[in-house]
């Protein structure tokens, strides 16, 4: 009878222990937010889905681009293999909210570092210095900003890029606005516009597509400085520091340069050297 009491007590202790384990959950990496998918050792990373050369979702469901290569490298340094990465589309207007909600662990999506954005998120990097530029046909006679006077200049609706050009260097440029950059590139190809303007990295990515290879060139005007950073949730210092360390490693082992050449090379993109972590070029 005494033995049965001891056994029952032991069973009760075991049941309590199992209950506590189940309620307590797994405190392993990234289980503190929705950035891990179902506790299965996955990591959610924000990218763009519609920017060739940077962040593009291919028809077969795979992903390509410089930001994708950077994100994959960073995730690996955080302990995740490619199969454990879940890429999440993060449009420009929702990037800060996606981090604040914990929808993603970090974002690599042509995310320019600005003082305003730094009030809401923390930035690792920068990992690429881009510039506003012009994309023109390879036989175009547009070699400087003033050549745009009287020409048709395209950018997307709501973008400040084309307006900046017209306000500062080519007041007689004819501004054409389309719903997306792919439409601007198609218009450039057909001759409906004479130039397209936005970040040179974005332009180079479009120009590097197979269907456009050899048709376009960058003017190389460097009309602005765009310091691309990796966004992380405000206050997540641990992830921030790990990503900065990973970015330095990516440069030192030449993976960064290989990613630049693979994604932008066909457009003869004259990239800036890899930025120094924490150095924001104004």
**Residue ranges per domain, the chain?**
43-130+226-267, 132-218
Q: How would residue 269 be classed by pLDDT, with cut points 50, 70 and 90?
A: confident
Q: Tell me what the mean pLDDT of segment 22-31 comes to.
A: 40
Cβ within 8 Å of residue 260, ≥6 positions away: 66, 269, 271
Question: Can you give the pLDDT at residue 23?
Answer: 42
Tokens of 85: 């990465």
Rg of the chain taking only CA atoms, in angstroms: 24
Question: Can you give the pLDDT at residue 96?
Answer: 95
Question: Can you give the pLDDT at residue 29?
Answer: 41
Q: Tell me what the mean pLDDT of segment 188-214 comes to.
A: 93
Question: Is there a shared CATH topology between the 43-130+226-267 domain and the 132-218 domain?
Answer: yes
Q: How would residue 179 be classed by pLDDT, with cut points 50, 70 and 90?
A: confident
Pairing, β 55-57 against β 63-64: antiparallel
* Edge-to-edge order in the sheet of strand 43-47: 85-89, 43-47, 106-107, 226-233, 121-130
Closest to 280 measured CA to CA, from 115, 160, 159: 115
Cβ within 8 Å of residue 174, ≥6 positions away: 150, 151, 152, 153
13 pLDDT more than 70: no
Q: Tell me what the mean pLDDT of segment 150-167 comes to.
A: 86
Question: Can you give the pLDDT at residue 36?
Answer: 54
239 pLDDT more than 90: yes
Q: Tell me what the mean pLDDT of segment 104-108 comes to.
A: 98
User: In the CATH scheme, what architecture does the domain 132-218 have?
Assistant: 3-Layer(aba) Sandwich (3.40)
Q: Tell me what the mean pLDDT of segment 66-84 comes to.
A: 97
Cβ within 8 Å of residue 6, ≥6 positions away: none
Q: Look at 15-29, 137-151, 194-208 and tell me which has the smallest mean pLDDT.
A: 15-29
CA distance 106 to 48: 13
Tokens of 194: 């004479």
Predicted structure pTM score: 0.80
Closest to 275 measured CA to CA, from 57, 91, 113: 113
Question: Can you give the pLDDT at residue 171?
Answer: 93
Q: What three-state secondary structure class fits 37?
A: coil
Question: Can you give the pLDDT at residue 232?
Answer: 98
Q: Which option is the CATH number for 43-130+226-267: 3.20.20.70, 3.40.50.300, 3.40.50.1820, 3.40.190.10?
A: 3.40.190.10
Omega within 30 of 0 (cis) for the link into 129 = no
Question: Can you give the pLDDT at residue 35?
Answer: 64
Q: How would residue 26 be classed by pLDDT, with cut points 50, 70 and 90?
A: very low
């Amino acid at each position: 009878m005494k033995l049965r009491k001891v056994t029952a007590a032991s069973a009760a202790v075991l049941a309590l222990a199992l209950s506590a384990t189940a309620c307590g959950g797994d405190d392993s990496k990234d289980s503190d937010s929705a950035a891990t998918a179902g506790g299965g050792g996955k990591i959610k990373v924000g990218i763009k889905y519609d920017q060739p050369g940077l962040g593009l979702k291919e028809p077969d469901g795979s992903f390509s681009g410089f930001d994708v290569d950077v994100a994959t490298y960073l995730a690996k340094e955080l302990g995740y293999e490619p199969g454990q990465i879940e890429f999440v589309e993060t449009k420009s207007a929702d990037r800060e909210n996606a981090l604040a909600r914990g929808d993603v662990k970090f974002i690599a999506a042509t995310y320019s570092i600005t003082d305003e954005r730094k009030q809401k998120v923390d930035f690792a990097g920068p990992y690429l210095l881009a510039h506003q530029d012009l994309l023109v046909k390879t036989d175009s006679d547009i070699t400087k900003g003033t050549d745009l006077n009287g020409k048709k200049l395209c950018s997307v609706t709501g973008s400040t890029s084309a307006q900046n050009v017209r306000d500062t260097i080519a007041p007689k440029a004819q501004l054409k606005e389309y719903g997306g950059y792919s439409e601007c590139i198609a218009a450039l190809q057909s001759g409906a516009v004479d130039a397209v303007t936005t970040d040179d990295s974005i332009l180079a990515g479009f120009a590097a597509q197979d269907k456009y290879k050899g048709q376009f060139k960058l003017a190389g005007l460097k009309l602005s400085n765009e310091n691309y950073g990796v966004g992380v949730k405000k206050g997540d210092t641990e992830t921030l520091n790990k990503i900065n360390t990973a970015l330095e490693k990516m440069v030192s082992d030449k993976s960064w340069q290989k990613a630049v050449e693979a994604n932008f090379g066909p457009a003869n993109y004259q990239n800036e050297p890899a930025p120094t972590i924490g150095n924001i070029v104004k």
